């Protein structure tokens, strides 16, 4: 499927659904904060891939006694220290290597395959597409919650990129449901085969065994959302709202 129909089918995979949990914002009121369903009690560990200079999300969990395993090969260490931060200057990649680990490699390294209550957060500036080639739905079952950024969506017109993006979303939604969607206003909106698509999307998903899900009419952005770039307005996702009906 290509063209407008392909883009709209892709958006359909991102439709928001309402869980039994109210939403809450974790982290900063801007870039680095994420809106999640409040199913946080009993989260055993956080796997945080992509740190940069903003760790308010990680700090929330560490301050509550949850160990946080951090991965980022682009920095020397996290901007804020915490005893429960375990920082690894290693890249996320499709396969394990001398300076990289796959998602399975990270889970095995920290013994996280013994838990089904891990929270996954990733924001890796576009590296997610290649890294996800080795990520299957069974790997993602270990994560109760997943919150992430997807980059480069203005390239959905490219068939190869569209196929890669579709494969990633199929893996993400095999056992999880999208509960929140927000556009990062850093890079604007592009028309892809006539459909307005933001370049960067923030997505939160909850594993399906945690809740029943119902249609969601929440606006995008919602009341808990804030612009990532404070010097410009937030992005309204009318096209995504349409496919959520």
Q: pLDDT tens digits for 206-227? A: 999 999 999 998 899 999 999 9
Can you give the pLDDT at residue 3?
81
Q: Which residues contact 223 (CB under 8 A, 6 or more apart)?
A: none
19-39 residue pLDDT tens? 999 999 999 999 999 999 999
Query: Residue 2 — very low, low, confident or very high, per pLDDT cuts 50/70/90?
Result: low
Supply φ then ψ for residue 232, to 5 degrees.
-150, 155
Is 181's pLDDT higher than 60?
yes
What's the confidence (pLDDT) of residue 4?
Answer: 85
Q: Which whole number is the average pLDDT over 87-112?
A: 97
Under the banding of pLDDT at 50, 70 and 90, the label for residue 1 is low
Does pLDDT of 67 surpass 90? yes
Give 155's contacts (C-beta < 8 A, 6+ positions apart).
161
To the nearest whole number, what is the mean pLDDT of the chain?
94
Tokens matching residue 13 = 């995979």
pLDDT class for 86, splitting at 50, 70, 90? very high
Residue 238 has pLDDT above 90, yes or no: no
- Mean pLDDT along residues 82-110: 97
Res. 243: pLDDT tops 60: no
How many helices (H) and strands (E) the chain has is answered by 7, 15
Is residue 242 over pLDDT 70? no
Separation of alpha carbons 197 and 9, rounded Å? 13
The answer to whether residue 241 scores a pLDDT higher than 60 is no
Given this model, what pLDDT does residue 244 score? 46
pLDDT at position 245 is: 46
Q: Do residues 94 and 130 touch, judged by C-beta distance below 8 A?
A: yes
CA 4: distance to chain centroid? 25
From start to end of the chain, where are the E strands? Answer: 17-18, 23-26, 34-37, 45-49, 68-71, 85-88, 91-92, 100-101, 118-122, 143-150, 176-183, 189-192, 195-198, 201-207, 214-215
Share of the chain above pLDDT 90, in %: 88
Residue 4 · residue 193 · CB < 8 Å: yes
For residue 5, count other CB atoms closer than 10 A to its CB: 11
What lies within 8 Å, CB to CB, of 25 at 6+ separation is 33, 34, 35, 36, 224
Burial (CB count within 10 angstroms: exposed 0-12, middle 13-18, buried 19+), residue 111? exposed
Give the per-residue pLDDT at 239.
Answer: 57
Domains in the chain with CATH codes: 3-243 (3.40.50)
């Amino acid at each position: 499927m290509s063209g407008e129909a392909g883009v709209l089918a892709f958006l359909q995979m991102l439709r928001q659904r309402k869980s039994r949990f109210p939403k809450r914002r974790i982290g900063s009121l801007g870039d680095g904060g994420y809106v999640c369903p409040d199913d946080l009690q009993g989260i055993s560990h956080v796997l945080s891939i992509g740190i940069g200079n903003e760790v308010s999300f990680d700090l929330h969990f560490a301050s509550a006694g949850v160990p946080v395993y951090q991965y980022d090969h682009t920095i020397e260490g996290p901007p804020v220290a915490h005893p429960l931060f375990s920082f690894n200057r290693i890249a996320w990649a499709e396969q394990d290597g001398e300076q990289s680990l796959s998602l399975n490699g990270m889970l095995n390294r920290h013994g996280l395959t013994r838990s089904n209550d891990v929270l996954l957060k990733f924001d890796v500036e576009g590296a997610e597409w290649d890294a996800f080639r080795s990520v299957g739905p069974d790997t993602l079952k270990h994560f109760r919650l997943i919150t992430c950024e997807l980059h480069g969506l203005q390239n959905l017109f490219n068939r190869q990129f569209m196929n890669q993006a579709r494969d990633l979303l199929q893996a993400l939604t095999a056992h999880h449901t999208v509960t929140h969607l927000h556009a990062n206003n850093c890079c604007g909106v592009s028309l892809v085969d006539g459909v307005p698509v933001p370049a960067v999307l923030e997505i939160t998903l909850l594993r399906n065994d945690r809740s029943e899900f119902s249609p969601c009419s929440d606006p995008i952005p919602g009341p808990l959302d804030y612009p990532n770039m404070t010097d410009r307005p937030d992005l309204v996702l009318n096209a995504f709202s349409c496919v959520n009906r």
